[in-house]
Amino acid sequence: MKKLFALIVGMFFICASALAAININTANQQQLESLNGIGPVKAKAIIDYRTKNGAFKTVDDLKKVSGIGDKTLEKLKKDISVTGASAVPVPGATTSSKAAAPAAKPAPAKK
């Protein structure tokens, strides 16, 4: 029974750590700043690079961003990805700077 419990707990932590990755292609400023070693300046540099050059194809592409070197990348690798949704939602943050489109008006009822 103890082995089964240990296995379940181990699987939980493996799944939780896999879900904790932040997608550097979709993360907003606050999500990027939540990463160890990334402050406001580096987070903005990542977003600016991504906006100008498009999505990162691999995690290693992050080294192309000014201020991100080998040491920073090695610290980040376990916490970032280039696929999937970012797993750290920030309350009140939006993923788009555009306002949401208004809902469509319902068609008038037929008589």
Q: Which residue has the tokens 């309350």?
A: 91
Write down the CATH number for the domain with range 22-81.
1.10.150.320
pLDDT tens across 52-84, in order? 999 999 999 999 999 999 999 999 999 999 987
Q: What is the 3-state secondary structure (H, E, C) of the chain?
A: CHHHHHHHHHHHHHHHHHHCCEECCCCCHHHHHCCCCCCHHHHHHHHHHHHHHCCCCCHHHHHHCCCCCHHHHHHHHHHEECCCCCCCCCCCCCCCCCCCCCCCCCCCCCC
Indicate the domain borders of the chain: 22-81
pLDDT tens across 37-47, in order? 999 999 999 99
Tokens of 69: 């070197």
- pTM, entire model: 0.60
pLDDT at 90 over 60: no
What is the mean pLDDT of the segment spanning 3-10? Answer: 65
pLDDT at 14 over 60: no
pLDDT at 101 over 80: no
Q: Select the more confidently predicted residue: 62 or 20.
A: 62
